[in-house]
Amino acid sequence: MKIVILSRNKSLYSTQRLIEAGENRGHEMLLLDHMKTVLVIEQGRPHIFFNGKEVTDVNAVIPRIGSSATFYGSAVVRQFEMMKIFTAVESQALVRSRDKLRSLQILARAGIGIPKTAFASSPKEKDIDNVIESIGGAPCIIKLLEGTQGIGVILADNHKAAKSVIEAFMKIKANMLVQEFIKEAGGADIRVFIVDGQIVGAMKRQAKDGEFRSNLHRGGSASVIQLSPEERATAIKAVKKLGLGIAGVDLLQSKRGPLVMEVNSSPGLEGIEGATGIDIAGKIIEYVERNEFNKPGE
Ligand SMILES: Nc1ncnc2c1ncn2[C@@H]1O[C@H](COP(=O)(O)OP(=O)(O)O)[C@@H](O)[C@H]1O
Ligand SMILES: [Mg+2]
């Protein structure tokens, strides 16, 4: 098979591992930087150029689209779909999962546990008090919608601090959400890696001392975890609702059970492979092998 990896950076661990896993299984792996592709849209014959050459004979695509490239990246994925090529993550699901507000709405509607969350686009002063109170008051979490790797996630200890942060973000017109702080999670969260509806690995990430964010980029540490049946079911249902072929579900362990914090459509492989010793890249290639004939529109 000829498998395209859409990735901006060939030196990334995840990109390298996917290429390696594909080549080990005898596939031709082609790395394309989605931002450097040219999409040609014409009636009946959508095609793609890279470095001045048409990209042809592709059997499957594995998108690794960073959040800053969602707009053009998802258009590239959509173009492959128009060419009737299987994509491991569908363009629609990719766009849907990148919108934190929309994702939480979909999960909540499906009855999946999420931390209580409030949004307001341009609240008046009274509304800000109301937003904070509506999620149970301070301490609370304030998150920039465009943040990743823990940057843009703030823990406000008291009402006054929360209000100042919200006002400051509003001033610079940043989109944010205000969220119930799950204190009992103790600075830990669970990453569940799902491929083709199956859990292929899970790890617990613990924040370093004095930090509530468990992101490995923020100095958190990862270890293997045995998931409870409820955690397994919650993660699988969340991914199903968002329609993602590959996903990393982040769960918080709360008093009222597992809560989905976010679902990532290009989850990194380094942390999870390192913590579990599982060949996750290989599981992704096997998923693509199973689905190559299950092409969009057929
Ligand atoms: N509502 C919350 N309650 C407790 N901890 C939280 C909450 N939201 C986020 N965190 C902590 O902060 C980290 C980063 O938050 P997250 O929403 O995943 O942002 P990012 O997309 O930047 O990773 C999480 O991994 C978790 O440890
Ligand atoms: Mg996160």
Alpha helices of the chain — where are they, by DSSP H? 13-24, 70-82, 91-98, 100-109, 125-134, 159-171, 229-242, 270-276, 280-291
Q: What is the pLDDT along the chain (298 residues), one digit of tens a residue?
A: 999 999 999 999 999 999 999 999 999 999 999 999 999 999 889 999 999 999 999 999 999 999 889 999 999 999 999 999 999 999 999 999 998 889 999 999 999 999 999 987 766 777 899 999 999 999 999 999 877 788 899 999 999 999 999 999 988 988 899 999 999 999 999 999 999 999 999 999 999 999 999 998 899 999 999 999 999 999 999 999 999 999 999 999 999 999 999 999 999 999 999 999 999 999 999 999 998 765 555 4
- Whole-prediction pTM value? 0.94
Q: Which atom of ligand 1 is nearest to the CA of 149?
A: 22
Structural domain of 234: 184-285
Same domain, 82 and 141: no
Rounded alpha-carbon distances, angstroms, from residue 290 to 59, 103, 151, 152, 226: 12, 27, 37, 38, 27
Does ligand 1 lie within 6 Å of residue 114's CB atom?
Answer: no
Same domain, 208 and 279: yes
Give a yes or no: residue 110 inside a domain.
Answer: no
Total tally of structural domains belonging to the chain: 3
Does ligand 1 lie within 6 Å of residue 177's CB atom?
Answer: no
Same domain, 206 and 261: yes
CB neighbours of residue 165 within 10 Å: 17
- State the distance from the centre of ligand 2 to the C-alpha of 24, rounded, in angstroms: 31
Give a yes or no: residue 7 inside a domain.
Answer: yes
Same domain, 201 and 281: yes
Does ligand 1 lie within 6 Å of residue 179's CB atom?
Answer: yes
CB neighbours of residue 178 within 10 Å: 23
Token look-up 């629609």 returns 92
Give a yes or no: residue 103 inside a domain.
Answer: no
Nearest to 195 by CA among 244, 237, 234: 244
Which of 134, 155, 181 marks a domain boundary?
181
